[in-house]
Amino acid sequence: MKKITSLIALAVLLLASCSKPARIITAHSYEELKGTVIGTYNGATVERILSSHAEECGYRVEYHTDPASIIQGLKNGSIDLMTVRFPEFKAYMHSIPGLYLVWDSLVVDDQFVLMSMKNNELKDQFNEWLELPETRQMIQDSKDYWLRPYGTPDPAPKDYDVPTGGEPIHIASSFTVVGTTYISNGKPAGVDIDVLYGFAKYAGRPVELLNMPTLSILAAVQTGQIDMGVSGFAMRNDGSMNENMLVSDPYNRASHALVGYSEELAVQQMKEAGLYKETNFFSNVSDAFRRTFIEEDRWQMIAGGLWLTVRISFCSLVFGTLLGALICAMRLSRRRFISGTAKVYVEIMRVVPILVFLMIMYYAVFSSMGVSGEVVSVIALSMSMAAFVGDVFCMAIQGIDRGQREAGYALGFSKKQTFFNIILPQAARSAQAVYNGQVIAMIKATSIIGYIAVLDLTKAMDIIRSRTFDAFFPFIAAAVIYYLITVVFVRLIGWLLDMTLPKKGSAVAPELVIKPAKKTNAPVSWEHSVQDRETVLSVNGLRKVFEDGVTVLKNITTDIHKGDVVSIIGPSGTGKSTFLRCLNKLETSTEGTVTMHGISEDEMRRHMGMVFQSFNLFEHLTVLENVCIGPMKLLHKSREEAEMRGMELLSAVGMANKATYMPGQLSGGQKQRVAIARCLSMDPEVILFDEPTSALDPTMINEVLTVIRELAARGMTMLIVTHEMKFARNVSNRVFFMNQGVIYEEGTPQQIFTEPQREETKRFIQGISKFDYSIVRDYDYIDMSNCLEQFLMHHMIPQPVVDRTMAAVEELLQLFRNGSGCVARIEAGACLTVRYIEQSQSTELQLSYSDKLPQILSDTGREDDLSITLLRSYTSVLEESAGRLYAKIQSD
């Protein structure tokens, strides 16, 4: 990056150093200017006259804001001529060889001092002073002193003798016109400065001199921010300046001239003055550096501007961030008035240019309060930055998955604790890049604060540019300095985030922790009946109605006893997950109560863990930190104690070797096992599992179910919403079948799965062991194959049976579509049914089709068909009757 920046800077400097020789132009009428490009000041008297003849006479007028830009255009050939007052031309000749006079009397105008409407007495006093003979002589002497030809020594800045006590006169000037008003050796200099200090001495008042661009001076005078403004102002023909401000009598009269530039003439003049020397690219860069930083100790002005820029940037960063956080909080508020107010504020700040907003704040809002430009700059930049930062924070917070909050609540964190421990660190990380961009934009925006009399880095470079007439090097130097400022600020922000946000890594090395817990394959059993065991959780009349009026839960009443493993089954959309969420207070029930023995409602979450189907691991923390955050923040355990316990739990679920991994580096099954370990870290009395395997691939399901089976064998009280019927049958002592928002039927696994009492339960049990798929002309074989494999894996059928079943289905459908009468078969279609036989852990296949079609296996000449041979090898039974082909795949 540094090399690229250096190359860009050198390329720009090379372009700047390659001037284009200009032709010598002579003209004494507008017609003779045909084909030229003329640079002038926007709003100047001569600009209106030139523009009025441009189209008719065939030349073009280009508008600039300062002399340095026009002179640079002359030197590189982008413009041919420039307008300048004739006395100032003498000052330019003193600094810039090669300038020559083309037309010396384009127009003559008078220069005035502008004053605010409240200073009528000051105006009269100034006009009286101008009438004095010694004043006129002083002005003439000042012109002779400051306006000298090229090659003569630089005029030395003057020390002005003015009073130091009393009410000061607030005066503003642009300091960009050499000879008239500029900075020399760090001091104000020029004819206009002599006039101002001469009057101040006459008035017996001190001077407070401000540096402002010309347009800002006009605004400051009109609002009364300053008393007097001097920057070569001339009266318009219509006298319009009198409408909003006072105008003094003219203190100077000067003619406007047209000036050109010739490189050959420049060489000749330098040789005559004994100042010519051969140059190359590197010497040009060296000279530019010397003129910008060394001469007249200009580095001091740059250092002062840099320090001011850094101060304003830092304060704006702090206050803008704090105000942005407030805007974010308002945007997230559920109260429409608060969120609406924040939204309106953001919309306004988005569309109002920062320069316009800065001018309004300084010249309108704070004009009568005496607030300094530095303070106004901080306020304006902070308010502008806050609008964008608030949006960035808001989007980052809203972008955090809802499950992260719910996982925090499930551990027992309050809303405030969840926000600061879980949401804010993640939002800060995700928003960091965009936030850095806003910080950089704010720092760059400080380049405009010179419009309100603040001598920042850019303004300092602008003043230096007006002295050196180098339009490139000072700004390139400013660009490099701004780059360094932004790098420092961005690095500082990154360092602060690293210091305040959770650190990656662990104080406990995984290899030093105890060996993984020994697995047990002991069957799950319950020595006592339900009535003999202590009641842990009581649910009474639980009802949940959502805002749209849908009733999800209807009067659920039940007790959960110590050591219970309750599997909750049923069709999708019957309220199973909502039931668990109401138990853990993630959803607020409409009616009814949920109580735990001797535990208040506020403390209930800490004693009731929850494992989610989407894992909801905290993405900004390592595996071990996920497990330790709850004990450290809520149970107030030491880091070492929490990590030792965390490693024990990770060992128990087979994840100790992944302790320093981030969640994004884990598979689904591994994430769910870590989620279980995190849940166990809070030593819960009850664990709620909300479809813990639904988001997993079939190959990962066994990883999680094995861990849950281990917990059941150790006597953990659990409620499990699951679609794994075999698992539910083997691990549970109670099964809830939920339908239409109620516990439709409850009993032991044996009762529910083999002897259900109610019709809906019977229909559901029969349906979950059967897979149906319609085979039509354009059916999707890949979709059918994936669905069938999911069905087989969810029933935990042995892998050999799954493989043979899948292969048999493939061959069976191949035969169906390719036998005699295949067109008729395709048109008629068929239905594929796969049944799971739990007792024998086998599958049965049945393909049903029209009995009017030829039978598949008995087609003439198909006995030796490879598909039939393979099909017979996969199946233990293969039978066919009219419109039906049956096959059975055994487990052995």
DSSP string, 649-713: HHHHTT-GGGTT--GGGS-HHHHHHHHHHHHHTT--SEEEEESTTTTS-HHHHHHHHHHHHHHHH
Distance CA 145, CA 198 (A): 15
E strand or H helix that includes residue 773:
strand 770-775
C-alpha 267, offset from chain centre: 54
Total number of residues shown for the chain: 892
Q: Please give the backbone phi and psi of residue 554, each rounded to the nearest 5 degrees, phi first.
A: -130, 105
Amino acid at 599: I
| Sign of the alpha-carbon torsion through 879, 881, 886, 888 | negative
Non-local CB neighbours of 354 within 8 Å, separated by 6+ positions? 380, 381, 384, 445, 448
Per residue in 135-188, pLDDT (tens digit) is: 989 988 988 888 776 556 778 888 888 888 888 899 988 887 778 888 888 888
Distance CA 287, CA 473 (A): 10
Amino acid at 66: D
- DSSP class of residue 782 equals H
Q: Look up residue 562 and give its two tokens.
A: 């110590």
In degrees, rounded to 5, the angle at the alpha carbon of residue 103 between the alpha carbons of residues 102 and 107 is 150
Let me know: does 814 contact 770? Beta carbons within 8 Å.
no
Distance CA 266, CA 260 (A): 11
Q: Look up residue 817 and give its two tokens.
A: 């579509």
Let me know: does 47 contact 61? Beta carbons within 8 Å.
yes
Radius of gyration of the chain (CA): 43
3-state secondary structure of 254: strand
Per residue in 534-552, pLDDT (tens digit) is: 889 999 999 999 888 889 9
Let me know: does 86 contact 104? Beta carbons within 8 Å.
yes
User: Strands of 842-848's sheet, edge to edge?
Assistant: 770-775, 830-837, 842-848, 884-889, 877-881
Distance CA 12, CA 77 (A): 16
E strand or H helix that includes residue 813:
helix 799-818
Distance CA 882, CA 879 (A): 10
Q: Look up residue 42 and give its two tokens.
A: 């926007």
Distance CA 542, CA 559 (A): 12
Q: pLDDT value at position 21?
A: 47
506-544 as b/e: b if 16+ CB within 10 A? bebebeebeeeeeeeeeebebeeeeeebeebbebeebbb
Distance CA 708, CA 712 (A): 6
Q: Count the neighbouring beta carbons within 10 Å of the beta carbon of residue 685.
A: 18
Q: Count the neighbouring beta carbons within 10 Å of the beta carbon of residue 652.
A: 22
Q: pLDDT value at position 642?
A: 92
Question: Where does residue 148 rank: exposed (0-12), middle (13-18), buried (19+ CB within 10 A)?
Answer: middle
Distance CA 451, CA 311 (A): 17
E strand or H helix that includes residue 252:
strand 252-261
Amino acid at 815: L
Angle between helices 86-95 and 67-76 (to 10 degrees): 60
Query: Which residues share a beta bridge with 608?
Result: 686
Q: How far apart are the first and last CA of the chain?
A: 66
Q: Look up residue 312 and give its two tokens.
A: 């304003």
Largest CA distance in the chain: 132
Which residue bears the tokens 């539910």? 728
Amino acid at 228: M
Distance CA 21, CA 374 (A): 44
Distances (CA, A) of 622 to 97, 403, 514: 69, 17, 19
Non-local CB neighbours of 663 within 8 Å, separated by 6+ positions? 615, 617, 618, 619, 621, 623, 626, 671, 674
pTM beyond 0.75: the answer is no
Angle between helices 2-17 and 281-289 (to 10 degrees): 100
Could you write out the DSSP letters of every residue in 385-434? Answer: HHHHHHHHHHHHHHHS-HHHHHHHHHHT--HHHHIIIIIHHHHHHHHHHH
Q: Which residues of the chain have pLDDT under 50?
A: 3-5, 7, 9, 12-22, 238-240, 505-530
Q: pLDDT value at position 277?
A: 65
